[in-house]
Amino acid sequence: NVKVDMKGNETAEQAAAKIAAAVNDANVGIGAFSDGDTISYVSKAGKDGSGAITSAVSGVVIADTGSTGVGTAAGVTPSATAFAKTNDTVAKIDISTAKGAQSAVLVIDEAIKQ
């Protein structure tokens, strides 16, 4: 597992940069992904409903659609996952290829805004 420290009030771009860096550091770069791959993830908003993370892996961006966690990206088909409850402190992003050749799990310790 790759741990990434994440604050609830970071912008999507800041979160994406940290996630992409962690994936690259784990030797699972954008080359591990190809058209038709699936990226499933669980994100979490702060207690006030703000700060949900839009994840990105290098150039692969998943749009945050709120309740379902389903988004679209170039060459990528995200799978539907439910968002973690607001009282959970850890959000997981499970990234795996459709072929199952490579995978990475990022565990984000997100600080909840009080």
- Is residue 36 within 8 A of residue 98, CB to CB? The reply is yes
pLDDT tens digits along 29-66: 445 544 444 443 444 444 444 444 433 333 333 333 33
Predicted TM-score (pTM) of the model is: 0.29
Number of domains in the chain: 1
pLDDT band of residue 21 (cuts 50, 70, 90) is: low
Q: How far apart are CA 77 and CA 80, in angstroms?
A: 10
Residue 11 banded pLDDT, cuts 50, 70, 90: low
* Residue 18 clears pLDDT 60, i.e. is over it: yes
- pLDDT at residue 109 above 60? no
For the residues 65-88, what does the mean pLDDT come to?
A: 32
Q: Supply the range of the domain harboring residue 44.
A: 2-111
Torsion angles phi and psi, residue 19, rounded to 5:
-65, -45
**Measured distance CA(28)–CA(50) in Å, rounded:** 29
pLDDT at 108: 34
Contact between 4 and 19 (Cβ < 8 Å)? yes
